[in-house]
Amino acid sequence: MPVESIKIKAYAKINLILDVLKKRPDGYHEVAMIMQAISLHDVIAIKPGKGITVRANDPLVPLDERNLAYKAAEMVIQRYPQVDGVEINIEKNIPVEAGLAGGSTDGAAVIVGMDRLFKLNMDLEEMLELGALLGSDVPFCISGVTALAKGRGEIIEKAPLCPRLWVVLVKPPFGVKTAQVYKNLNLDEAIKHPQIDKYLEALAKGDVSYLVNNIENVLEYSTFKLYPEVRDLKESLVAKGAQKALMSGSGPTVFALFKCLDEARSFADKLKKEGENKVLLAYTLNEQEFKERVKHYG
């Protein structure tokens, strides 16, 4: 029986390590990042249609060609003209402009979902290539689950898989524009660059204490200047008992890692009781969970 629609979980990411190496002549920044997919996700439903329609349950999400899910559909249709169109429904759970790749993961989900729905038989390489045209974080969102990302973020190498860690995320009540954060980053100031090789070694060894305590993100140097309240939030998470807290991507979401669920849950409950209004609990995904993100509906 032909598949008539597809539902796909579009997972958010956190950066366990985010380093910026230099500004390139093409205007992008050269980065080195360890990215990790987490259980927080949007649900993208895709079915055949005429033209492209996008619906979403969050007024902050644009429904036209500014939406990366829309753009992804446009790119796939351009390459595969046998596809007439699609209806895309986005159930948004990932906060917008949060540093969690919310838009990129929706775009990635549409590429993967349309490939399955219309049996386009794209290989991973083709999907990654399309993804890179859509945005720097999109290839990671296609391939998952723990990866080293280089170039402007679009060059993906496998990294040793992250063991199960629990993630408490706090999203401040405002968004941050990624482009502004990169523009405001001053690489000439004394920046402490993360030791990415050591972190990769710790992943390989499954050294959970090291993984929890050595997350680093140089974009904090920029975002904290623009939004000092993000620094305050990071410091408050440590004051309240997190071993280490870190901004994800360009922010403003700040997260802390925990070895076990009970610890993470009681920390999240404490933050909620003390008035943080957007506290989310998630976990790092494994390969199997990531692979099972696509569901067919006949």
Q: Nearest approach, Cβ of 269 to ligand ATP (angstroms)?
A: 25
91: which strand partners?
Answer: 43
Contacts of 98 (CB under 8 A, 6+ apart): 171, 175, 176, 248, 249, 251, 252, 253
Q: Nearest approach, Cβ of 48 to ligand ATP (angstroms)?
A: 20
Other CB atoms closer than 10 Å to residue 49's CB: what's the count?
14
- 101 part of the interface to ligand ATP, by CB under 6 A: yes
Stretch binding ligand ATP (CB under 6 A), from 67-75, 118-126, 210-218, 230-238: 67-75
Is the Cβ–Cβ distance between 283 and 39 less than 8 Å? Answer: yes
Question: Residue 94 or 202: which CB sits closer to ligand ATP?
Answer: 94
Task: Given the residues 7, 71, 137, 171, select the one marked as catalytic.
Answer: 137
Question: Residue 117 or 248: which CB sits closer to ligand ATP?
Answer: 248
How far is Cα of residue 109 from the mean position of the Cα atoms in its chain? Answer: 12
Q: Which two tokens stand for residue 43?
A: 């649900």
Given 14, 32, 75, 106, the residue binding ligand ATP (CB under 6 A):
106
Contacts of 194 (CB under 8 A, 6+ apart): 17, 18, 19, 214, 216, 217, 218
> For residues 18 and 148, what is the distance between their CA atoms, to the nearest angstrom?
10
Given 31, 35, 99, 268, the residue binding ligand ATP (CB under 6 A):
99
Stretch binding ligand ATP (CB under 6 A), from 32-40, 77-85, 91-99, 185-193: 91-99
- 154 part of the interface to ligand ATP, by CB under 6 A: no
Contacts of 159 (CB under 8 A, 6+ apart): 34, 146, 147, 148, 200, 203
Q: What is the CA radius of gyration of the chain?
A: 19
Question: Residue 13 or 242: which CB sits closer to ligand ATP?
Answer: 13
13 labelled catalytic: yes
Residue of minimal CB distance from ligand ATP?
103
CA atoms within 13 A on the CB side of 124: 8
- 97 part of the interface to ligand ATP, by CB under 6 A: yes
Given 48, 49, 62, 85, the residue binding ligand ATP (CB under 6 A):
62
- 104 part of the interface to ligand ATP, by CB under 6 A: yes
7: which strand partners?
Answer: 45, 295
Is the Cβ–Cβ distance between 267 and 241 less than 8 Å? Answer: yes
Task: Given the residues 13, 71, 92, 171, select the one marked as catalytic.
Answer: 13
Stretch binding ligand ATP (CB under 6 A), from 21-29, 62-70, 195-203, 205-213: 62-70
Q: Nearest approach, Cβ of 221 to ligand ATP (angstroms)?
A: 16
Catalytic residues: 13, 137
Q: Can you give the binding site for ligand ATP, defined by CB under 6 A?
A: 61-62, 66-69, 90, 96-104, 106, 137, 178, 249-250
